[in-house]
């Protein structure tokens, strides 16, 4: 306990932090008759109190102060520790849940793993072939052998949209006879099968472009003539123009 006013304490010990809330400071200013607006900050109120000079004596009043240590460095260090803990990857391993080395794989698990692996790498999952109508490369799971189908191909016969290959300009212009399709393909996709059952024309003649590229690549790979499917290119161009 000391009979020292607050403003005098600030003058005697300016470097000593005296931490008082704004409400406490306003109580001191009210006791000393200092008018402080509510919107003043704590630092402004401290300045008003430190510049105040008491003209009255308060024999019955005493000031009690306790020096508060500066803990800013401790707070900063504590924040660094918390940040390091959050950024660190901690893994808690329980001896009851994790046993090392683990038990050998059972026969049931071996059979399940092998069966699932065989299903994943089965050729029918990722292998594909060309559709006889569209020429798209379709997975085998969506293809049906054309030998098993009994469908009407007349819907694919359209006059005025095909041209046969000509080696010279003097050769006559002739159309491709019969339905336009890739006879080298042995499968028909389920979409084309459903459309032809309903006597609906395929919706994308330009897709035959994929058929021409596919068969041109296969003919070249097999050592056969490279341009045997040139008529398909004419079908593509004329069909796309119409």
Task: State both tokens at 124.
Answer: 């029918």
* SS3 call for 92: coil
Write out pLDDT tens, residues 166-199.
888 888 988 878 777 777 888 888 888 877 656 6
For residue 212, name the pLDDT band (cuts at 50, 70, 90).
very low
β strands within 96-165, DSSP E: 128-130, 137-139, 143-145
> How does pLDDT run across 99-146, given as a tens digit for each residue?
778 888 899 999 999 999 888 888 777 788 888 887 778 888 888 898
> In Å, what is the CA distance from 132 to each residue of 23, 97, 137?
89, 57, 10
Global pTM value:
0.37
**Cα-flanking dihedrals φ and ψ of residue 63, to 5°?**
-105, 130
Pick the closest to residue 45 from 69, 65, 28, 31 (CA basis). 28
- Residue 188: Cβ-neighbour burial (10 angstroms; 0-12, 13-18, 19+): buried
| Beta-ladder partners of 219 | none
Question: How is the chain split into domains, by residue range?
Answer: 1-68, 124-241
- Close Cβ partners of 129 (under 8 Å, ≥ 6 residues apart): 137, 138, 140, 143, 185, 186, 187
The pLDDT value given to residue 210: 44
């Amino acid at each position: 306990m000391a009979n020292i006013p607050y403003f005098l304490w600030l003058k005697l010990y300016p470097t000593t932090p005296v931490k008082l809330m704004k409400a406490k400071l306003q109580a001191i200013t009210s006791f000393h008759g200092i008018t402080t607006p509510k919107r003043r900050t704590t630092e402004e109120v401290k300045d008003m109190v430190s510049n105040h000079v008491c003209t009255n004596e308060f024999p019955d009043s005493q000031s009690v102060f306790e020096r508060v240590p500066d803990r800013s460095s401790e707070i900063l260090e504590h924040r660094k520790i918390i940040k390091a803990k959050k950024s660190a990857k901690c893994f808690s391993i329980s001896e009851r849940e994790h046993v090392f080395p683990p038990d050998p794989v059972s026969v049931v698990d071996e059979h399940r793993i092998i069966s699932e692996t065989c299903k994943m790498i089965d050729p029918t999952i990722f292998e594909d072939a060309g559709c006889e109508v569209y020429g798209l490369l379709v997975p085998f799971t969506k293809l049906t052998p054309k030998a098993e189908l009994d469908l009407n191909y007349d819907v694919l016969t359209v006059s005025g949209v095909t041209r046969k290959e000509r080696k010279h300009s003097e050769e006559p212009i002739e159309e491709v006879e019969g339905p336009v399709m890739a006879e080298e393909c042995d499968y028909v996709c389920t979409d084309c099968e459903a459309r032809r059952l309903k006597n609906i024309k395929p919706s994308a003649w330009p897709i035959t472009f994929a058929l021409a590229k596919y068969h041109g690549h296969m003919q070249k790979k097999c050592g056969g003539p490279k341009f045997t499917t040139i008529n398909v290119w004419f079908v593509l161009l004329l069909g796309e123009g119409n």
